[in-house]
């Protein structure tokens, strides 16, 4: 193999595994919880 030839790998081979997309669920749930917590704090701070 010549050193000038580019190596082409699939995404899964390059990452050496699969990506289960858990991060997007964690981020979505965390964002929703933060919004709820800020809404509750805003509600009780105006009383």
Per-residue model confidence as pLDDT tens digits over 8-39: 888 777 777 667 888 899 999 999 999 999 99
pTM: 0.57
The number of helix segments (H) and strand segments (E) in the chain equals: 2, 0
Count of all residues that appear for the chain in the document: 47
pLDDT of 16 reads: 73
Alpha-carbon separation of residue 5 from 12, 14, 16, 32 (angstroms): 21, 17, 21, 48
Split at pLDDT 50, 70, 90, the class of 43 is: very high
Asked whether residue 7 carries a pLDDT value surpassing 70, the answer given is yes
Distance CA 41, CA 47 (A): 10
pLDDT of 1 reads: 54
């Amino acid at each position: 193999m010549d050193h000038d030839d580019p190596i082409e790998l699939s995404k899964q081979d390059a990452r050496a595994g699969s990506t289960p997309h858990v991060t997007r669920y964690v981020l979505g749930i965390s964002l929703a919880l933060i919004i709820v917590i800020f809404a509750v704090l805003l509600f009780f701070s105006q009383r």
